[in-house]
Structure 1
Amino acid sequence: MDWVERVLKVRRHSRNGERAPHKPLLLLYALGRFQAEGARPIGFSAAEEDLRRLLREFGPPRATSPGYPFHHLTNDDGLWLVETAGGPGSPGPEVGRLRAEQASGRLHPDLAAALAEQPGLLPQLARALLEAGFAPSLHADICQQVGLDLEDAELPGQVREQVGRRDPAFRIEVLEAYEYSCAFCGYEGWLDGVGVGLDAAHVRWRTYGGPDELGNGLCLCALHHRLFDRGVLGLSPDRTVTVSRKYVGRAGTSRMLVLDLTGRPARAPQTGTPGVERRHIEWHSSQVFRHPARSAVSRRTAR
């Protein structure tokens, strides 16, 4: 089994469509540290806040501890080792014990040696983790957070086989169904006869079983696509727009472009074409959207 296959096995710990990106995020963080400073151990106390922020921003919308991946990644096929001031082995996932026993983690020596000998391996592993576990609109943000430079990195063949090829017809089908207009804000734009600034967004991510079908698609402008994948925006079962109460925007443009969407009905596709299926809305609500949602009534009353 090669290294790409090993890191792809880590991603499979999700169940029933639930997102479980804790270990992949730790691996991406460790790869970023390796790219910057080599195989130096990563002290838990020094990395704790970085990991907590990664899990908060790119993990599922439920509370989790940075101690969980720091400890449990040691169970995955020679990728990660933990030791304490007392010797090899992890003291467990409890944050207090990891701090008290001065735990540190590092990439397995075999993996570190392979990364040093094969310069192209690190970006391949990172691309594999990103493609297999996160929406494409999040990749650049994650790389920036962990300090990874993946310019010109090729996508490993194993990832294409596992995730599957994107259906090129999906984008056109979605944009045509929504008449090249953002379902949230109504934006439309053209350059030389070609629609610009519009995406075909997957409601349920492809990496978690989301199909390239109209019932799983929304036409969104680039801004609202990114906010949708970050959990700032969502959909209610009756297909009205939800806005996370955790989102803060004080500028007038933030209110106009984001906050004023609260409770607004999402644009429906053309008559005779299916809207977003409820099961995909429910997946996004439980796995991506940052609850609680703002109240449209209270927002308007406060104006």
Structure 2
Amino acid sequence: MLLAMEWFERVARMRRWTRGGERDPNRVLLLLLALGELHRRGYAPLRYRDVEEPLGELLAEFGPAKPASPGYAFHQLAADGLWEVLTHQGVGSPGPDASTLRAYDAAGRLAPRFAKELMADAAVFTQIVRLLLQLNFEPGLHDDLRTAVGLPPEPAVPASVAAHVEGLLPRARPDVLLRQKVLVAYDCRCAFCGFEGWMGNSVVGLDAARLRWGAFDGYDDLSNALCLCTLHHRLLDRGVLSLTRSGAILVSRHFVGTTESARTLVDSLVGRRVAAPRAGFPGPHRTNVDWHARQVFRGPARTS
């Protein structure tokens, strides 16, 4: 476990660029892509020209609105001690420029000791993936990310391994009553579309959706949460939807939906006012609204 702890700690140190709460998941996404390749095909170098396109798609889909280039991630990940870049001249990156990486026919691979440890212990592999996801993305995106990079659903791991990882996660504990508080504050209705649904005495299809992500100091509090239906929660986390300080709903121009239901459920939200909570309950704080609009929303917003 001592060797495993070294890798857990290195992953935790690279977790994100924290200045101003800005997201910088570029190296994380490359590492997840490499772990997916290791899981499916075994240990082998990944040529830059082969991963440039899929990495670019991951950056566009799960990174901030202005992601760095694939070349930046390919070059920079080596600084974390988990990755190395190879050219015909030996180990060492020729730089972050994509055209240079292609010209040198650069390839990257997981650091040999790191890969050996991952292949030797499935529990360590599982917890490395979990740590990367927990420290950089909202839980609602984890399954999407696993699918995108070719990783299976998370299996159970020994409690001893899980305990080591728990100690590296953010200290703030989730509020298990947050959903209940949000439901009460918003009268059990989606703040975007007004949906409500019940099965017996249980509310169904409604979530407590955070604006500022838990991995980026987003607390489980009504000032950082909305009551949203499952669909609009997912679209909020993916950056299709956001809102302004004044409470106007934003819809990304990048969203494409050709059916009547897409027009009804998404396009019609453009400019609509988000529902306010009941009197006596706080609405979203402007700092959390601003963070989501800057760091998650895939702008620009539609105007009609």
Q: TM-score range by the shorter chain?
A: over 0.9
- The separation in 2 between residues aligned to 1:269 and 1:48, in whole angstroms, is 45
1:43 aligns with 2:47: yes
> Is the 8 Å Cα contact of residues 203 and 216 (structure 1) preserved in structure 2?
yes
> Is the 8 Å Cα contact of residues 5 and 158 (structure 1) preserved in structure 2?
no
2:91 partner letter: P
Q: What pairs up with 1:149-188 in 2 under 5 angstroms?
A: 149-154=152-157, 156-161=162-167, 162-164=169-171, 165-188=173-196
- The separation in 2 between residues aligned to 1:204 and 1:223, in whole angstroms, is 18
Please identify runs of 4+ aligned residues in structure 1 that moved more than 3 A. 153-161
Deviations 1:132-163, CA, capped at 9 Å, x for gaps: 10011111111111000133244833553432
> Does the residue aligned with 2:174 lie in a helix, a strand or coil?
coil
Match of 1:135 in 2: 138
- The separation in 2 between residues aligned to 1:153 and 1:53, in whole angstroms, is 29
Counterpart pick for 1:273 among 281, 286, 292:
281
2:237 partner letter: D
- The separation in 2 between residues aligned to 1:89 and 1:290, in whole angstroms, is 34
Counterpart pick for 1:198 among 199, 202, 206:
206
Counterpart pick for 2:300 among 284, 292, 299:
292
- The separation in 2 between residues aligned to 1:158 and 1:173, in whole angstroms, is 32
- The separation in 2 between residues aligned to 1:13 and 1:63, in whole angstroms, is 13
Match of 1:118 in 2: 121
The answer for unaligned runs of 5 or more in structure 2 is none
Counterpart pick for 2:217 among 209, 213, 222:
209
Match of 1:246 in 2: 254
Deviations 1:21-50, CA, capped at 9 Å, x for gaps: 111111111100000111100000000000
2:6 partner letter: D
Match of 1:28 in 2: 32
> Is the 8 Å Cα contact of residues 33 and 147 (structure 1) preserved in structure 2?
yes
> Is the 8 Å Cα contact of residues 124 and 153 (structure 1) preserved in structure 2?
no
2:265 partner letter: L
- The separation in 2 between residues aligned to 1:235 and 1:226, in whole angstroms, is 15
1:192 partner letter: G
1:104 partner letter: A
The answer for unaligned runs of 5 or more in structure 1 is none
Counterpart pick for 2:105 among 95, 102, 105:
102
Aligned-pair identity in percent equals 48
Name which of structure 1's ranges 165-174 and 251-260 shifts more when overlaid on structure 2. Answer: 165-174
Match of 1:147 in 2: 150
> Is the 8 Å Cα contact of residues 4 and 156 (structure 1) preserved in structure 2?
no
- The separation in 1 between residues aligned to 2:104 and 2:138, in whole angstroms, is 36
Aligned residue pairs total 295
For residue 83 of structure 1, report the CA deviation from its aligned partner. 0.7
- The separation in 1 between residues aligned to 2:139 and 2:129, in whole angstroms, is 13
For residue 14 of structure 1, report the CA deviation from its aligned partner. 2.9
1:17 aligns with 2:24: no
Counterpart pick for 1:60 among 42, 64, 82:
64
TM-score, L = length of structure 2:
0.94
TM-score, L = length of structure 1:
0.94
